Amino acid sequence: MTSDTNDNGGVDGARALRLAASVGRLHIVAIAAMGTFTFGWLFTGRYLWALAAICALDWFVVNLLNRVVDLEEDRLNHITGADFAARHRRAILVIGFGLLFGSFALTHMVWPELTPLRVAYHALGLAYNWPLLPGRRRIKQLYFWKNTASATGFVITVFLFPLSQVYSGKAAMIDGVTGWTVLLALLFFVLFELSYEAIYDLRDAPGDAAAEVRSYAVVHGERGAQRIIDALLLGSMLVLGAGFAAGALPWRLFIMIFAPALQLVLYKRFVRRGITARDCVGLTWLGAALLLTYHLWVAAGLPGAEL
């Protein structure tokens, strides 16, 4: 694996940006924040900027702290920033936990309804990353629960954060959004998000096997994992199609069917030539870019953008 630094121990400009993005896993932060922003708008008709920022902070903290636990598998999988995380482990822990506890004090004063959700999210993150379970195991090592826990984290921040504003009376559901709308959108999102997890597991199979992480790729092999990914992506599209046909999902939600369809095509292409870390990160940035494009479409008042 190449080093994170140059021969003088420093980091050049372009490499520094890549290193910072990798250490903080900013691609995951971006798609999570855009998810909160997007579903908040879809459900309430409001742009919940502050909630998206809190979501970004929460995912940044969890991913940052994760880097000091995943050193072995990150090195084996040639993940950028593994050497940096190993050298600066103590500083990362101080910064991560400092942001975590400091942000709790601030957000509780303004959004007390978020506190139980944030506690649940970070408790899940700690159990996912750190050996807190019986036998000093992590959720990340458990078959099925590994991916389900990560999807649950997205459900808390992307769906429950905005819905907490509705149930606290700070926002209201827009006309046409029913319980079925929310439920079908949630099911689509969970299936689609799980496909990301399984695609990442294809890339991480060597390091996961060494760290006793029972991912789908480790347990079922590449072909078995691909069948699971295909089922998740096709399932997510089926949910949107059936929901739209039944009149439970509006066009502005149905149009998201384009994302899993595109992902299905791209990931198949990546697997044929050998999937890489860059491919996985690129897929995540693409997802965030599609959500941003969605909002630019809405801002421009183009067809189908109406609430």
- Residue 304 covered by a domain: no
Tally the domains of the chain. 1
Q: Identity (one letter) of the amino acid at 59?
A: W
Answer for the pair 209, 218: CB distance below 8 angstroms, yes or no: yes
pTM: 0.88
Nearest residue to 16 via CA among 261, 24, 293, 248: 24
Q: Residue 104: its pLDDT value, please?
A: 94
CB of 37 within 8 A of CB of 49? yes
Q: Indicate whether 249 belongs to any domain.
A: yes
pLDDT, position 307: 59
What separation, in Å, do the N-terminal and C-terminal C-alpha atoms of the chain show? 49
> Domain for residue 225, yes or no?
yes
Residue 30 domain flag: yes
Position 8 scores a pLDDT of 45
**Residue 151 burial (10 A CB sphere; 0-12, 13-18, 19+):** middle
Alpha helices by DSSP H, listed for 130-215, are: 145-154, 161-167, 179-210
How many CA atoms lie less than 13 Å away from 140 in the CB half-sphere? Answer: 23
The residue type found at 281 is V
pLDDT by residue for the chain (307 residues), tens only, comes to 334 544 444 556 667 667 767 777 899 999 999 999 999 999 999 999 999 999 999 999 998 888 887 767 767 666 777 788 788 888 888 998 999 999 999 999 999 999 999 999 999 999 998 888 998 889 988 999 999 999 999 999 999 999 999 999 999 999 889 999 999 999 999 999 999 999 999 988 888 888 788 999 999 999 999 999 999 999 999 999 999 999 999 998 999 999 999 999 999 999 999 999 899 999 999 999 999 999 998 888 767 666 5
Residue 129 lies in a domain: yes
Tell me what pLDDT residue 5 has: 46
Amino acid sitting at position 73: E
Flag whether 41 is in a domain: yes
Q: What are phi and psi of 204, to 5 degrees?
A: -90, 5
User: What is the pLDDT, as a whole number, of residue 76?
Assistant: 66
Taking the CA atoms of residue 90, residue 129, residue 100 and residue 50 in that order, the dihedral angle to the nearest 10 degrees is 130
Residue 194 half-sphere exposure toward CB, CA atoms < 13 A: 27
Is 4 a domain residue? no
Number of helices (H) and strands (E) in the chain: give both, helices first. Answer: 14, 0
Within a domain: 2: no
CA angle 60, 152, 219 (to 5 degrees): 100
Write out the residue range of the structural domain in which residue 235 sits. Answer: 24-299
For tokens 């190993």, the residue is 86
Q: What integer pLDDT is reported at residue 2 of this predicted model?
A: 39
| CATH code of 64's domain | 1.10.600
